Amino acid sequence: MNASKLLIAVGAAGLIATASLHLALGLPALRSAITDGRVLPHPLMHPSELQAVWVMLSSHLFLLSGLLLFLLSRGGLSRPVASLIGLVPVLDAILMLAFYARFHIAVPLLVVPGLLIMAGAFLLHSPGDPGTRAP
C-alpha cells in the first residue's frame, strides 16, 4: 500500500473511531443532559430532534469513511473526491468552533482524520494523470 492510500485509510479509520465515540459516549450524555434539564432544546423543538441531529452527524461520518474505503479498495478514488470527503469533517470542526466558541475534544477528532485524508488525496494519482498511464 502506498503512502497516499495509507493516509486515506488511516483517516477513514479515524472518522469511524470518532463516529463510534460520538455515539457510544456522547449520545448517552446528551440524553442524560436533556432528561436532567441541563440542555434545553428550543421550545418548538422536540428533545428527540436534538438526538436525531447527533445521530445524523455520526451517520455521515460512517457513510463518508465507508465510501472512502470502498472507492479505495476498488481503485476508483480520485483526488477531487477524496479531497472533498476529507474537507467535510474539517468544515464540521470549523462550524463547531464557530458556534461553540471554545475548544472541544471533538475538534481534533474531526480535523486530524480530515487532514490525513486530504494529505492522502494530494499524493493520490488520479486515473487520468500522466504518471499513471501505461507506456
**Burial, 2: exposed, middle or buried (Cβ in 10 Å; 0-12, 13-18, 19+)?**
exposed
135 or 86, which is more confident: 86
Quick one: what percent of the chain has pLDDT higher than 70? 90
119: cell is 494529505
Q: What average pLDDT does this structure show over 41-62?
A: 86
3: cell is 503512502
* pLDDT tens readout for residues 102-112: 788 889 999 99
Q: Whole-model pTM?
A: 0.84
* pLDDT above 90: residue 36: no
